[in-house]
Structure 1
Amino acid sequence: MTGFDTGRLSRIDDWMQSYIDARRFAGASLLVAQGGQEVYYHQCGLRDIERDQPFERDTIARIYSMTKPVTSVALMMLAERGLFHLDAPVSEFIPAFKDMHCLVQGATQIDQVEPCATPTLHQLLTHTAGLSYPFNPGVLGAQMAEQDMIFRANQGSLTDMCDRLASLPLAFAPGKRWEYSVSIDVLGRVIEVVSGKTLEEFFVGEIFNPLGMNETRFSVPQNARGRFAACYTPQAGDAFSVGKIESGAESLRMIDEQEKSPFLDAQMHSGGGGLVGTIDDYMKFTEMMRTGGAGIIGPKTLDFMMANHLGGDIASMGPSSFAEQPMEGMGFGLGGSVLLDAGRARTPGHVGDFSWGGMASTFFWIDPVADLSVIFFTQLIPSSAYPARPQLKALIHGALT
């Protein structure tokens, strides 16, 4: 196992502080473990500027799409019990998806459709199902935006939202392309149907309690509300617009505050982006994945999840959607991306690095070659605002000996 040059590792302190000083991030924390041992932790800045509260190790943050690996693990826990196979159509669990249509090639209106197959669970897991997000370009993304179909914490029941989603056409025939989407939210509903539990009940009983993730939930725990971070954006308009950044006069405009957030009492259990938690809790989850399942899921199932499930890299499947990672040189497993070629990805790393991030600029990766788990927390939307992720990978990789 490689080690670290502590002098080079300490460069991260200055890099993080530079983001605070430039008012790019209000606050941030970084936790690095190697071989299961903590080798670096640093925090700086504020979790709430208005209240002058520091960003600390026990700060509760919105992890948004870093919820997706948790949901993917949960689904695979059920799969390895023989309760379904991954080529099963989602309509077996959510009947509203039974008779599907997709947009015809070159469609300019939502009613320009043709019949198509129903997506499978595997296609949902790999974002090749034909679903989308409201912030993606294209006809389907625009329709989802018009209907505000994003599985937000205050948007009612998961059942109803999935049925509404099923009434729309797919962006393309399942399996034809890769497009970042709400597909993992749909799988959250599949987990509920198969297990007979709410998604949070399954997460808590089967994953969080066994791993000791006591402060990771869909709603901020009552006794932790004073530690909940505010969320910010540099954008003048919609913070969830991930195209060209329209910078406002204030680079840290608060868009979700501690005492009024929908995350205080979540109605929707969004398996694609609904969890909040602490950095140490998420380290327990990544370490479970890195070390072989901690008894909650089989090590060979995890190997299967962290392999590339696409025919090539993401770029080869023609995406035009937003994603949390580079697309060239990156494959996609179940719940996260897989580094295939560091040169093509233009970011240092080892082949097999498994990673994903969240809309509020959080990020994690597991490096199986260097036995690393790395987690970065901050609260700024969108995550495409600054190149923090490739910079952080370069800093960590540059400190390895």
Structure 2
Amino acid sequence: MKPWRSEAFVRIVLAAAFVLLAGAASQLRAEAPAARSFSAAGLARVSAFLDDAVAAGRIPGAILLIQQHGKPALYRKFGQRNVATAQPMTDDTIFRLYSMSKPITSVAAMMLVDDGKLALDDPVARYVPAFADVQVGVPQADGKLALQPLARPITVRDLLRHTSGITYGFYGSSSVRRLYAEAGLFDGDPDNAQFAERLARLPLAEQPGTLWDYGHSTDVLGRVIESASGRSLYQFEKERLLDPLGMRDTAFFVADDARRPLIAEALPGDWFDRPVAGIIEATAPRRWESGGAGLVGTIGDYARFAQMLLNGGELDGRRYLKRETVALMASDQLDGGIAKNPEFYFPGPDSSFGLGFAVRTRAKPPLPAGEYRWDGVGGTFFFIDPADDMFVICMMQSPSQRGPIQDELKRLVYEAMGR
């Protein structure tokens, strides 16, 4: 046997390679900035801010979790979950998540990508054939809408990053959005298959891959998950994600009437006078499992989900996503050819979008780059900060205060770390 093929030689080479890799890893760890820690005074200011919001009647109550290094740095319940019944906020309070459903659905889809049952550049029509014939609506000077063929198919990637051309009908006034609002998409409680087919009969708002346009993309993604997995969206999420993570209270409605008093309610007058994203009442039984806006859950459940992501796709010894898959989801996926309509670009000017999350691409002191996040129109929001090994979740039901409280709370959290 030649010496370079001997067992001893191989052992020497492997040992040398291990030493080199270990040294490189140590150097990277040494060069990476250390996660900052919180001051007691800073966390007290965070708590005082929410105490004041409750006392001033801005919100009925909230639950806040700041978790760093796998342990709560601050966990507090504020105010009431229902001012009409004077019930306090409790650990098992149930919140309407609305668009905080989207990251869960996106993770479920990426689990199928990791399984090899989906590919990001698969055409959506492979899983929902009705989308093979969809067209693009182009407004004309006379107010009419011309139809244009697709320049390329809608892909699974488009659904994940909101570049499919599928929009919503509850905001804006474009011709296509008006069609969505008037199409009866939600009539008769459709299931996911029927809902996706109804969407495919409508024109797209723009060509796929040209504009970040917030809409029913994640709902269609839910149907893609069903087609690829052979299960309903909830069955797949429950078997592969929710149950293994211990997210026992996360579902598409509250099935047990005895648990309905646990549902958090907004202040009188601070709710919606029409359905949002097709959801009339997020806690009521229905066939449609809206992957984009339909879930309800507790802060404890969402904390398990967020910690799994912060850990790079693993929790308690079980892997849900490959580490590189989480990194891909939390990275900028809007290349230079994709426009960001400033009027309805909800991630904001300092952020891009990944696969299911907004991603902060430019630091906005005291907020760092690299954070990824999303929120729900009912008042819930979360963000994950890998550099500081931290995530923050705030659960409340207060649509009018979601933006102001999120902005101020994030500033206070980072100031509490000296940023």
TM-score under structure 2 length normalisation: 0.84
Q: Give the SS at the match of 1:190.
A: helix
The residue aligned with 1:123 is 158
Q: Does 1:278 align with 2:298?
A: yes
Q: Distance in 1 between matches of 2:228 and 2:255?
A: 27
Q: Distance in 1 between matches of 2:222 and 2:268?
A: 28
Q: Deviations over 1:263-288 (max 9, x none)?
A: 24232111001111110110000000
Residues 110 and 140 in structure 1, CA contact (< 8 A), matched pair in contact too:
no
Residues 282 and 294 in structure 2, CA contact (< 8 A), matched pair in contact too:
no
Which one has the bigger helix percentage? 2
The residue aligned with 2:405 is 388
Q: Which runs of 5+ in 2 are unaligned?
A: 1-34
Give how far 1:163 is off: 0.7
Q: Distance in 1 between matches of 2:141 and 2:366?
A: 39
The residue aligned with 2:341 is 318
Q: Distance in 2 between matches of 1:44 and 1:311?
A: 41
| Residue identity opposite 1:335 in structure 2 | G
Q: Deviations over 1:334-363 (max 9, x none)?
A: 1111101123xxx63221101000011110
| Residue identity opposite 1:370 in structure 2 | D
Which shows bigger deviation, 220-229 or 363-372? 220-229
Q: Give the SS at the match of 1:42.
A: strand
Q: Deviations over 1:201-221 (max 9, x none)?
A: 111100011111111111224
The residue aligned with 2:23 is none
Please show how residues 1-400 of structure 1 align to structure 2 within 5 Å.
1-104=35-138, 111-116=145-150, 117-137=152-172, 138-149=174-185, 155-222=189-256, 224-232=259-267, 234=269, 238=273, 261=281, 263-294=283-314, 295-311=319-335, 316-321=339-344, 323=346, 325=347, 327-343=348-364, 348-381=366-399, 386-400=403-417
Give how far 1:233 is off: 6.8
Q: Distance in 2 between matches of 1:293 and 1:107?
A: 50
In structure 2, do the counterparts of structure 1 residues 362 and 312 end up closer, same or farther at CA, with 3 Å as the change threshold?
farther
Residues 59 and 401 in structure 2, CA contact (< 8 A), matched pair in contact too:
no
Give how far 1:109 is off: 5.1
Which shows bigger deviation, 28-37 or 54-63? 54-63
Q: Distance in 2 between matches of 1:382 and 1:110?
A: 35
In structure 2, do the counterparts of structure 1 residues 211 and 15 end up closer, same or farther at CA, with 3 Å as the change threshold?
same
Give how far 1:44 is off: 1.3
| Residue identity opposite 1:391 in structure 2 | E
Give how far 1:230 is off: 2.0
Give how far 1:317 is off: 2.4
In structure 2, do the counterparts of structure 1 residues 353 and 377 end up closer, same or farther at CA, with 3 Å as the change threshold?
same
In structure 2, do the counterparts of structure 1 residues 108 and 376 end up closer, same or farther at CA, with 3 Å as the change threshold?
farther
| Residue identity opposite 1:321 in structure 2 | F
Structure 1 segments of 4 or more deviating over 3 A? 105-111, 231-242
Residues 103 and 113 in structure 1, CA contact (< 8 A), matched pair in contact too:
yes
Residues 337 and 356 in structure 1, CA contact (< 8 A), matched pair in contact too:
yes
Residues 179 and 320 in structure 1, CA contact (< 8 A), matched pair in contact too:
no
Which shows bigger deviation, 69-78 or 114-123? 114-123
Give how far 1:71 is off: 0.6
Residues 51 and 78 in structure 2, CA contact (< 8 A), matched pair in contact too:
yes
| Residue identity opposite 2:331 in structure 1 | A
CA RMSD of aligned residues (A): 2.5
Residues 83 and 267 in structure 2, CA contact (< 8 A), matched pair in contact too:
no
| Residue identity opposite 1:283 in structure 2 | A
Give how far 1:185 is off: 0.5
| Residue identity opposite 1:147 in structure 2 | A
Q: Which runs of 5+ in 1 are unaligned?
A: 243-254
Q: Distance in 1 between matches of 2:228 and 2:108?
A: 11
Residues 216 and 277 in structure 1, CA contact (< 8 A), matched pair in contact too:
yes
Residues 67 and 390 in structure 2, CA contact (< 8 A), matched pair in contact too:
yes
| Residue identity opposite 1:267 in structure 2 | R
Q: Give the SS at the match of 1:394.
A: helix
Q: Distance in 2 between matches of 1:236 and 1:218?
A: 19
Give how far 1:236 is off: 8.9
Residues 100 and 118 in structure 1, CA contact (< 8 A), matched pair in contact too:
no
| Residue identity opposite 2:133 in structure 1 | D
Q: Distance in 2 between matches of 1:88 and 1:395?
A: 42
Residues 169 and 177 in structure 2, CA contact (< 8 A), matched pair in contact too:
yes
Q: Give the SS at the match of 2:206.
A: coil
Q: Deviations over 1:172-198 (max 9, x none)?
A: 111111111110000000001111111
The residue aligned with 1:251 is none
| Residue identity opposite 1:317 in structure 2 | K
Give how far 1:240 is off: 6.2
Q: Deviations over 1:94-140 (max 9, x none)?
A: 01111121122557757422111331111111111111111231122
